[in-house]
Chains A and B, each alone.
Chain A
């Protein structure tokens, strides 16, 4: 499953970022989004096209097409 499969306020652990490109992955890493990090889905915005997630107390907004590439496990 990936981030888009989560429900609001679900907490999950990131399993893999395999499908994201390298540069974007580094950017995610800067914000603390990486394997084994805990992520909370706070909100789905703009008709579920944007996902607001929380990692280490930071709120981050990303697009659906990128959220799909972040595989998680509940």
Chain B
């Protein structure tokens, strides 16, 4: 048994999904589209799975993400639909509900956020709304994680059946069109009701033509055009879609007036929101407040002052170095493992993996703080504050959200650009975001700063982050004037109310990131460390050789002259940059392995500076490149996303070297 979970964005869909399933994570892909598909087993319902669909206002797709809803309804095999509805925004949410109910498959309506609705002073008459919408309904508050609710929902799902599907009284022109299209669809064998399909076609759902090969497509398109013309000519509405929308809205208003009952007169919290908004989005104060908050996030994660993350890292480092590695060394000696094998384990694997793993606490704290920011609803305010500034560079205010995410990891940041509707603005954001320094690059800065610039720690750190931002903005400006000229530049943002973030959800998100990080350490970084150590300890003449004669030295030696102008032309530095393509964390692992723990010996103060500048900007890691490929679907731009950063990194590092050679 498979149930599809559909709902508007920001209605607590993920919370509900986690609430209903608890465990058994399965992540797959929709065939033909590379968007993650989340499928979990439903608790208290043996053999039933819930499929999480992307949040959408409408069955018709207006972005790639939303196309999946149409695709799933048409092509997936499922026993029913679970439609999750934000009870505090019924009028908007019910538009999607109506489209799903028109489909005529068993549907359970879950009215979520019962508690929030109640604190606004309202309740839903659930029996009445069930009757009006001819479907099974239940009112819950998924946030409370009440087991009774979970059992009730599972029970309702087991007994889910189709009532008579809902039919609205559309305008005669539309009815005429529906009949015509219905007749034209008789040549197609379809899984869904023809009437529903006809209505979706009239609404302009392009996904239908994309996912089904309709025999009479041309004829059908002519009918749609004719109906649209009649609607406009007779001034029924501004467009065909609008006419359908109006009928639905009238029906919804009627249902809501009938079923939403005020039980208490409360002053709406939106006025409170407005007061905070006026401060946080203040034209003068908004940006300084934003920077102050970001600085605090950074201090807590990485700084010495307030530095929770840094403190944890110190302990972590102690445990790893003094206890784990030390005792492992003793154990190996006891077992008689020496020479080559000992080197591989201690100087290769343990140094490589450990060099990165010690940053785990700081990175978890950073992700925790970012999730906290997002949970409060502040991100939307930042988008407002930054819109004017960012639009000057060809960005959209919404670009700020992926940018902030990019401070954590570039991969989710690129995925977060899906909310940007305009294609050009989205491409621009995708291609420039890798310049924002992600947390994987941080260990590189930390290591070099502690070795060469300990006195100027804060200045260098701030400088390198600012440099990333400046390069991002400058590149965006260049792109918006060349490749992506005349982007749509529309800003339409739904502003969520301020919410108290839930500790459980945030902790969960941070721990998920920690898991991924450990997994990366156990795979990419482990493998990278082993290969790197082997290549640097084996040469044509065999093992136990002088590193200068190793394979790695020979390979990297080819490329390393390229970096001589930048001041770090030795084969070790070059190898570390090459291996960084695997994952940026590997750069530090490689440096630890190749300089056998003495990185300072390989650099001067100046070349250390140009090295971190170069490493902060050059080619994104392999996961990022793969994400860019799947999100843009373009080989050309994927290649560009690798070549362009290399050139920029080289140029900027060269300029930095020229300027600082005067001082250092």
Contact = CB atoms under 8 A, between A and B. Distances in A.
Q: Do A and B come from one complex?
A: yes
B242 interface: yes
Given A32-B91, A57-B88, A59-B497, A24 B246 contact: no
A52 to B, nearest CB: 7
B495 A46 contact: no
B240 to A, nearest CB: 11
B337 interface: no
9 contacts: A27-B490, A42-B274, A45-B277, A50-B491, A56-B91, A57-B92, A58-B92, A61-B383, A63-B491
B57 A30 contact: yes
Contacts of B384: 45-46, 50, 52, 61
B242 A28 contact: no
Contact of A46 (B91, B242, B283): B283
A1 interface: no
Contacts of A32: 91-92, 95, 249
Nearest to B421: A27
B278 interface: yes
Given A29-B242, A45-B384, A61 B91 contact: no
Interface of B: 57-58, 62, 88-89, 91-92, 95, 204, 237-239, 241-242, 245-246, 249, 270, 273-274, 277-278, 281, 283, 286, 380, 383-385, 387-388, 421, 490-497
Given A30-B57, A30-B58, A30-B62, A35 B238 contact: yes
B57 A31 contact: yes
Interface residues of A, number: 36
A60 B494 contact: yes
Interface of chain A, main secondary structure: mixed
Given A17-B238, A46-B283, A50-B384, A56 B490 contact: no
Nearest to A56: B91
Contacts of B278: 43
A13 B91 CA distance: 16
Contact of B245 (A34, A47, A63): A34
Nearest to A36: B246
Contacts of A52: 277, 384, 495
A25 interface: yes
A61 B286 CA distance: 16
Interface of A: 16-18, 22-32, 34-37, 42-43, 45-47, 49-50, 52, 54, 56-63, 66
B345 to A, nearest CB: 56
A40 B497 CA distance: 16
Given A29-B241, A29-B242, 10 more contacts: A25-B242, A27-B421, A27-B492, A30-B62, A30-B95, A31-B57, A32-B249, A34-B246, A35-B246, A47-B283
Given A17-B238, A26-B241, A45-B384, A31 B494 contact: yes
Given A34-B245, A34-B246, A27 B238 contact: no
B370 to A, nearest CB: 22
Contacts of B497: 59
A60 B246 CA distance: 20
Contacts of A42: 270, 274
A59 B273 CA distance: 10
Contacts of A47: 283
Nearest 9 A/B pairs, CB to CB:
A30-B57, A56-B91, A59-B495, A61-B493, A32-B92, A63-B491, A45-B281, A47-B283, A46-B283
Find the residue from B237, B278, B495 having the highest chain A CB count within 10 A.
B495
A42 B385 CA distance: 16
A58 B278 CA distance: 18
B237 A31 contact: no
Contacts of B421: 27
Nearest to A49: B388
A13 B92 CA distance: 17
A25 B239 contact: yes
A18 B249 CA distance: 19
B8 to A, nearest CB: 9
B234 to A, nearest CB: 15
A26 B239 CA distance: 10
A46 B92 contact: no
Contacts of B241: 26, 29
Contact of A27 (B62, B92, B387, B388): B62
Nearest to A18: B238
B262 to A, nearest CB: 13
Contact of A60 (B388, B490, B492): B492
Contacts of B383: 61
B221 to A, nearest CB: 16
Contacts of B95: 30, 32
Given A57-B91, A58-B89, A60-B492, A34 B242 contact: yes
Given A49-B388, A57-B88, A43 B492 contact: no
A46 B387 contact: yes
A26 B421 CA distance: 12
A24 B239 CA distance: 13
